[in-house]
Amino acid sequence: MKKIVCIAGLLLGLHSFGAFSQELSIQDATLARYTKFYPKTYSGVNWKPNSPDFSHLVDYKEIVLCAASKNYKGQSILTLEQLQSALDDYAKNIKLNYLPYYHNWLNSDKLSFQYADDRGAYFFVYNIKTKKIESLIPLPDDASEPLPNADFSKIAYTDGRNVFVIDNKGNSTQITYSRNPKVVNGVGYVHRQEFGIHVGMFWSPDGSKLAFYQKDESMVAEYPLVNTATRIAEANKIAYPMAGEKSENVKLLVYDFKTNQTATMNTTGPADQYLTSITWGPNSNEIFIGILNRGQDHLVLKSYDATTGAEKASLFEEKASTYVEPLHPLIFEEKLKDGFIYQSEKDGYNALYFVKNDGSSMKYLGKEGVVVEEYLGFDAKTSNFYYLGADNNGLDRQLYAVNLKTAETKKITKKSGVYSVKISPDFSKAFFTFSNITTPTVTGVLDIKTGKETQLIVADNPYTQITMPKVELVTITAADGKTPLNGRIIYPTNFDPNKKYPMVLYVYGGPHAQMITNSLNGGAPLWDIHMAQQGYIMFTLDNRGSDARGKDFEHVIHRQLGVNEMADQMKGIEFMKDKPFVDAERIGVYGWSYGGFMTISLLLEYPEVFKVGVAGGPVCDWKYYEIMYGERYMDTPQENPEGYEKTSVIKKADKLNSKLLVIHGAQDDVVVMQHSMEFINACIKNGKQVDYFLYPDHKHNVSGKDRVHLNTKIANYFHDFLRK
């Protein structure tokens, strides 16, 4: 559920409400983006092309340039007032409320911007030397998913069904002409946004062609979401492909601006296969597609002629007894002519592989125990690839270099903690931010060759205004008796080891999510801090199946979601129950989405352990969940009936003996409300009492100010039934 943001996702923010007391209120903890709890750093950082200098944004009012020759002391290069003046000279009708956050260097003189407010949306290019707007493209009111080409001379967009392109001279071109509401072009919501898919259109490097997805949902069952805000409730029908049912059919098309012709890539095979890792070749004449079967255990990487759509070559394939999960496009480097980079976890940890252009060889460039998190670039002078990698059993994020010729890997950063890195175009420097469990953010520049760090900002502790609880990272052995798991304990403020405290287990537990890192407060959300201030021990464990620990660590969940995850969580509970200050009679659990599924599963399997639970947006039976995610981990209900039966909490509702609050968004289009409704119905039939609360207007996550209401409800439930 990569697209799912769990409750723990709201962490820190930018602005202040005002003075704070020694306790953190629910409002402060929830609406963190409006509070002071954000260590000072730079935002909107971009390296200047062909330069060791970088720019950043200040208070959405100014862009400053930090020059290496001036020890990175900032010098203003553009203010909100200057940009507004340039826009007034160019267009007259665009009024900026802020300096746009999104800015990029097109070359050493030009910055690109995207700006939108209730008056419209615009893409424009500003010349720093001339102090003038060089081009501006206004988007139509119905434009969505806009995608600029490399030089911002053209913008591709959709109207929700068809693809259009508008250029900086005002010329507009309609690319597709679908009249069928179930056949949509260019949208990023393809394959339910699994496989790393976030955009539906792809510009060729030279801007002469545009590739785009075409999705046909006419064979997918319609699912009604009921809107009760109208005088008479209305059904909003969405295409929702449930596990084992019919799936969408997807094609990849390419439009050529020179010929005004569209070609469909000839991706032979079943219509419900997945098209992943869309990548243009550097010559803009061929395009690469990772074709994944619906069973998600066989991937074939193929190249196609972008003009005719004909298959050119089948380069390589990857198979697995569990699943293959392509998450990244290929990477072509300008100064690397004879091959490209492919990412895969097939040898244990997500790693880089150098593949010859014809697919004849594949060179492993990985390191045992290190998961490639972000590819950062290739330095032709040293033949080094750079990437950000998760290590230290997933707790840290470090900068690594791996040499193409020798395949030797070197760790560049040295301190244990979490680095975020942007490397300069000449690969001499890297802008970084760093924190660990005891260190607020440090911002600076790293010398790639020597590893020396120049600190530009050492942030003050943002929590000095409140009484902070102690946060401790612990290691617990998994249920397999050998795998170390990362745990986090947050102690109540003014902790007394001679007292007994209620404990709340926060659980997510599913793939592509990690709750614990070696960052400030161990990655804990402010809501956990608030609850610790209310007298709870807050405990979290990243079980097997979660992220950043490699293939074997995650794939234990295959065909039996929740089984090994619960076994590991119970090892954490055993660890905590051995503490004399934990009241074993007052243990609660809560989670959202996959964590909601885990919460109910734990309550039903271990009613003698958990007194209270809160489950938000819970998956209750995997056969009701979407094909792309559900079948990857569980196969189809037809192929794995025992697994679906065993993991359904609906089938076990008769075992409920704890206090349980189930929360759901009535407009949830990810975990549809049928999950919790069927569970509630099973509880009724079995004479089990359960509390149920709906958010009528919200989808899978309760956001905005209503989240204060949500977190208050969760806290109060634990106060009422867990805290004496």
* Distance in angstroms (rounded) separating the CA atoms of residues 37 and 28: 9
Catalytic residue ranges: 593, 668, 700
Position 567 scores a pLDDT of 98
Least-confidence region, from 90-94, 347-351, 487-491:
90-94
Q: What are phi and psi of 637, to 5 degrees?
A: -60, -30
Region 333-346: mean pLDDT is 96
Give pLDDT, residue 14: 30
- Compute the distance between CA of residue 210 and CA of residue 95 in angstroms, rounded to an integer: 32
Residue 313 has phi, psi (to 5 degrees) of -160, 150
Nearest to 571 by CA among 514, 503, 486, 501: 486
Percentage above 90 pLDDT, the chain: 90
The reported pLDDT for the residue numbered 649 is 98
Q: What is the pLDDT of residues 352-385, one digit of tens each?
A: 999 999 999 999 999 999 999 999 999 999 999 9
Model confidence at 1, pLDDT cuts 50, 70, 90, reads: low
What is the pLDDT, as a whole number, of residue 440? 93
Residue ranges with strand state E in 257-395: 261-264, 274-280, 286-292, 298-305, 311-319, 339-344, 351-356, 362-364, 371-379, 384-391
Which pLDDT belongs to residue 698? 97
d(CA 398, CA 419): 6
With CA atoms as reference, report the closest residue to 437 among 376, 347, 517, 546.
517
| HSE value, Cβ hemisphere, 13 Å, CA-based, for 412 | 32
Domain boundaries, the chain: 7-37+464-515+532-620+647-713, 39-138, 170-322
Lowest mean pLDDT, pick from 18-22, 360-364, 461-465, 536-540: 18-22
- Say which CATH architecture domain 170-322 belongs to: 8 Propeller (2.140)
Instruction: Enumerate residues 6+ apart whose C-beta is below 8 A from 111.
Output: 63, 78, 103, 104, 105, 125, 126, 128
Provide the pLDDT for residue 462: 87
Q: What CATH superfamily is the domain 7-37+464-515+532-620+647-713? A: Alpha/Beta hydrolase fold, catalytic domain (3.40.50.1820)
Please give the share of the chain, as a percent, with pLDDT higher than 70.
96
The least confident of 465-474, 610-619, 677-686 is: 465-474
87 backbone dihedrals φ, ψ, rounded to 5°: -65, -40
Contact status, residue 32 vs residue 13, Cβ threshold 8 Å: yes
Residue 154 structure tokens: 């053209």
Q: CA angle at residue 26 from 24 to 32, to 5 degrees? A: 80
User: Does the pLDDT at position 724 exceed 80?
Assistant: no
Residue range 134-168, pLDDT digits in tens: 999 999 999 999 999 999 999 999 998 999 999 99
Crossing angle of helices 706-721 and 526-533, in 10° steps, is 40
The pLDDT score that the predictor gives to residue 35 is 59
| pLDDT classification of 22: cutoffs 50, 70, 90 | confident
pLDDT band with cut points at 50, 70 and 90 for residue 464: confident
Asked if pLDDT for residue 32 goes beyond 80, the answer is: no
pLDDT band, residue 101 (cuts 50/70/90):
confident
pLDDT (tens digit per residue) in 618-676: 999 999 999 999 999 999 999 999 999 999 999 999 999 999 999 999 999 999 999 99
Query: Which burial class, exposed, middle or buried, applies to 656 when counting CB atoms under 10 A from its CB (0-12, 13-18, 19+)?
Result: buried
Tokens of residue 594, six digits: 């996959």
Assigned token pair, 545: 């199946």
pTM of the model: 0.94
